[in-house]
Amino acid sequence: MDYSRMCPKYESAAELLGKKWTGLIVRVLLGGPKRFKEIKEQIPDMSDKMLTDRMKELESHGVLTRTVYPEMPVRIEYELTEKGRNLEEVITSIQSWGENWL
């Protein structure tokens, strides 16, 4: 691999996944579908607005889906797509690196 030039695909991936909170959201959703409140409980320092913004961004990139269930009260769940689940190896590698070096 040629590391002397920046690859546009790497740059795009790093821009999306390098945003604050994004990796944590993906990590939480690797555990299966969750409601907004469940995600928020696992990442309590993140504001509701930031969580909403990051979720919309991940949805627009096809990393997660938002499913609305027509119940009373309405239930909304967020789940990783195949594209999002494919990040598990990346998240696991970052976790391992952190355990070894931080």
pLDDT score of 3 more than 80: no
Q: Collapsing DSSP states into helix, strand and coil, what is residue 9?
A: helix
Q: Could you give all domains of the chain from N- to C-terminal order, each with its CATH number?
A: 21-101 (1.10.10.10)
Q: Are 20 and 64 in contact (CB under 8 A)?
A: no
C-alpha dihedral sign at 84, 30, 16, 37: positive
pTM: 0.91
77 or 1, which is more confident: 77
Please say if the pLDDT value at position 6 is more than 90. no
d(CA 20, CA 70): 32
- Each residue of 58-88: pLDDT tens digit? 999 999 999 999 999 999 999 999 999 999 9
Question: Above 90 in pLDDT, residue 47?
Answer: yes
d(CA 99, CA 81): 27
CA distance 61 to 12: 11
Mean pLDDT of the chain: 95
